[in-house]
Amino acid sequence: MSHTPEQLQIFLDIATEAALDAGAIVQSYWGNLNAIEEKGRSGDLVTAADKASEKAILEVLRRHVPEHGILAEESGKLGDSTSQYLWAIDPLDGTTNFAHQYPPFGVSIGLLINGIPQVGVVFDPFHNELFRAAKGLGATRNRQPIRVSETVELRNSLLVTGFAYDRRETPDNNYAEFCHLTHLTQGVRRSGSASIDLCYVSCGRLDGYWERGLSPWDLAAGVVILSEAGGKITAYDGSPWKIESGRILATNGKLHESLSQELLQVTPLERWANS
């Protein structure tokens, strides 16, 4: 079943309302955290800000679309699991940054329809930047259209990546890729927020992004924004991207093939595992 632009706009407005409400709550906790917890994995943090933000998002969704399914980072699966609609929510993407009072961080809300991300909103309350998109409706930052960069060669590019929570235990990390691409580009950044990374590629601040070990709530919103801004998203090898894989290669499209080729030839630094 296809959806009209008017229907997608309604969902986009709902996501925007939820993201702005949650962002205001997140900002109210800035510098006022009393307790920071780990969720079982070293470095995987949760705070009162995460929980309060998610509560606000859920309230908005339950008010507008109570029949939809939800996948939330802190609460797990909620609502109707058989619905064609699934909201993937990260109430505070970049919790470690936030806990250290270090931006960026953001609220990420994506809507999957029949398993395909089609609506996305990411709000950065620190910089007051609102990124929005829906399939066929274009992408915006603070209501102004955005497009990816025109960079065509890796040597002129600025990239971004991230490191998974299990990077200390698994040889399937991207330390070697980070080093390799640092030598081939003008630089590689690590922001600590996947949704913000995708938005920065979307508006041309960065040229490409790759990462592994991600969850659907990390990516669902950002991939819609990047796609609508003219970017390209695949698996590392250029094959069709699957959200459940936890891996992503996302670029302005123009240097996609060259970045893919470089990633595929890097041998992991296995000696870092279990060290």
| pLDDT digits 0-9 by tens, 55-77 | 999 999 999 999 999 999 999 99
DSSP string, 158-207: EEEE---TTTTT-S---HHHHHHHHHHSSEEEE-S-HHHHHHHHHTTS-S
Task: Give the pLDDT confidence score for residue 168 in this predicted structure.
Answer: 62
Provide mean pLDDT across the span 2-24.
97
List of E strands, the chain: 36-38, 45-47, 69-72, 76-79, 85-93, 106-113, 116-124, 129-134, 138-141, 144-145, 158-161, 187-190, 208-211, 232-234, 248-251
Is residue 169 very low, low, confident or very high in pLDDT (cuts 50, 70, 90)?
low
* Residue pLDDT, tens place only, 208-262: 999 999 999 999 999 999 999 999 999 999 999 999 999 999 999 999 999 999 9
pLDDT category of residue 189 using cuts at 50, 70 and 90: very high
Q: What is the pLDDT of residues 234-244, one digit of tens each?
A: 999 999 999 99
Cβ atoms < 10 Å from Cβ of 143? 7
Tokens of 192: 């600590």
Amino acid (one-letter) located at 165: Y
Q: Could you give the dihedral angle defined by the CA atoms of residues 257, 260, 264 and 265, in that order, rounded to the nearest 10 degrees?
A: 60
**Would you place residue 39 in the very low, low, confident or very high pLDDT band (cuts 50, 70, 90)?**
low
How close are the terminal C-alpha atoms of the chain, in Å? 50
Q: How far apart are CA 140 and CA 124, in angstroms?
A: 13
pLDDT higher than threshold 80 for residue 135: yes
Residue 166 assigned to a binding site = no
Annotated ligand binding at 73? The verdict is: yes
Instruction: List all residues 6 or more positions away from 75 whose beta carbon is below 8 Å from its beta carbon.
Output: 54, 58
Average pLDDT value over all residues in the chain: 93
Q: Once rounded to an integer, what is the mean pLDDT over residues 129-148?
A: 98
Confidence category of residue 275, pLDDT binned at 50, 70, 90: very low
Is the pLDDT higher at 31 or at 132?
132
Mean pLDDT along residues 127-134: 98
Q: What angle do CA 213, 218, 220 make, to 5 degrees?
A: 120
User: Structural domains in the chain?
Assistant: 5-145 (3.30.540.10), 154-265 (3.40.190.80)
| Spatial CB neighbours of 231, under 8 Å, sequence gap ≥ 6 | 148, 201, 202, 250, 251, 252, 253
CB 159 within 8 A of CB 178: no
> Is 70 exceeded by the pLDDT of residue 142?
yes
Please check the confidence at residue 34 and state whether its pLDDT lies above 80: no
Q: Report residue 203: phi and psi, to 5°.
A: -100, 10
The verdict on whether residue 218 carries a ligand-binding annotation is yes
